[in-house]
Structure formats: structure tokens, C-alpha cells
A = this chain, B = another copy of it.
């Protein structure tokens, strides 16, 4: 059994030159029909598989995009990755993923890996802004697109407009008559814009108080901890509404609040989440949340990174996409928590 069959073996077996075999694969119109079919059948017979490494090496980098995501286990990022995969495929590119798991060293590792692999470009949800490594990457001509809350100059970015999202959330809570809002989420630099959006709205309303409850990360577990803190606050000082920096936190909060029926959602505490992950609407109390247009985010990211790769006159672009409020039971007025509210805000 011939272990490795390359273009050369195929050429020999078909009685043509290697150049011709290559042409059969890449420029079939340059080859006569007779040889084309002959070569093709020899390939099949020998089980030839083109070596993409050599191909890319020769062609100076390939058709692969690298994507680094904060955490695949977070459904928002899973969806985003999935959307990028689809968008990339449509543009004829394959997207490979890495999850930084919020660890700077893993982020670095994937950046290095992608650069060594000579990917066409990198799409990254950075841990905390741009790092030296990213700047070096850019200097060496690698297209880099950020999913970030800040618009960093020198990079294309999709700034997920958390400010507007924060405003929507806070305004909604004020509209339903709440006056003491807790913003739950951290580290602050990662969610700063949502915080600022909420802050801006609250400042414009007399008698509305906003406090910040920090969390080390944005998982369900962190939400639970925050919920316990909330419960520990004496009733008179306790916020009557929570704006959680993402849905996972909100779900954790729900768990903590409901486990010991002391506090009711939304009667005692209304909750707004962020991202509209699939489970938001199926939570123990369906969650009011701020939806981000994931598909469009992905599409823009892919478009920008490819433009930067192809277009010599590329100019960096900062794109902000407007999020949208989805109201469900966790903030619904009177028949709150009623399963009847479940359907609200369903995806199409």
C-alpha cells in the first residue's frame, strides 16, 4: 500500500506531468477533456488527497480565518462563532476557532498559532482591549478585527453598542416604576459601556439610584453569588431592579433569588439580562433582555477582515450595531412570572 500519494504519483500513473495534474485541480479549462477525466479517475483510484499545507505554503497563505472567542461555553459566543462560521463559509473561507477562556496566555497562544498558520485574518473578542501582540500582528500586516466595546484606532472593530443596550435596559426599568437599580456585572472594563449607558439614563431621572455589584466573571455561578449578596441587603436598602451584564448572570440571579422564596421576580426585584441567549425565554422566570444582532455582527466582522486582507485602500471601520429590548416576564407588570408571558419575544 503506497503510503503517501502525491501529485507526482498521480502524474506518473496517468502518464502526464505534475503541472498538468495541478491544472486539472485548479484551472481545469487549460486541460483537454480527455486527460482531465483520465487524471481524475487516477486520483480516485489512488486515493489522492491534495496536501493543503504545501498548497498554502506555495500560495502564501490560504483561505482560513482564525477566530478567538472569550468562552465557547457562553452561548452568546457559541452563537457568534457559529454565525461567523456561516458567514465565512459564504465568503469561501473556513473559520477555525479557539476559546481563550478569559486567560491572557491562551489568547496569546491562539494569536501566535494563527500567525504561524498564516491565516488570512483574525477575528477576536479580546480579553481586555488590544495587547502588544495584536499590535505586532497588525504591524506585520495581519488583518485583525475586534469585537469590542471600544473603538480602538488602528483596528477595524465591531463595537457591540452596549451603551445603547444599557440605556434601553435602564429606561425600561424606570418605565415600569423602579427607582433603585443594581447593575450586576464585571470586570467593569469588559462591561463598561453597558454600565455607562445605564448610568446616563439614571442620571437624567430624579430619584433613581444606581449601584454596581461587581462580579469576577459573567457566569451563572457569579450570578448566584451576586444574588446572595442582594438577599443579604436589608429590605429598605435593597434595589428593586437588577440590570445584569449578561443573561447568564441574570439566570444565576434568578436561581439565587428563587431558591428561598423570600424575594419574588419581578414583584420585589425586576431583572433585565443581556444577549437574549436561547434560554433566556425558558428561564424559570422568562427573562427580559437586550438582544444583539449576532448574525449581522458576524457578517460585518467577516466582511471587514476580508476587506482588510484584499483591499489595499482599506480604511479601518468601527461599526456599531443597535441592540433591541425584548420584554418578558422578569420585568412584566402585574401578571408577572405568569407562564402566559412565556411566548413574548420569541424568536421568529
Contact = CB atoms under 8 A, between A and B. Distances in A.
Nearest to A285: B284
Nearest to A287: B282
B73 A78 contact: yes
Contacts of A112: 49
Interface stretch (A162-170, A171-179, A192-200, A251-259): A251-259
Chain multiplicity (copies): 2
A49 B258 contact: no
A285 B255 CA distance: 11
B118 A52 contact: yes
Nearest to A280: B279
A9 interface: no
Contacts of A115: 49
Interface in A206-255: 220, 251-252, 254-255
Contacts of A251: 279, 282
A120 B98 CA distance: 17
Nearest to A140: B47
Interface string A62-91: 000000000011010011011001000000
List 3 tightest A-B contacts by C-beta distance, closest first. A52-B116, A258-B339, A96-B96
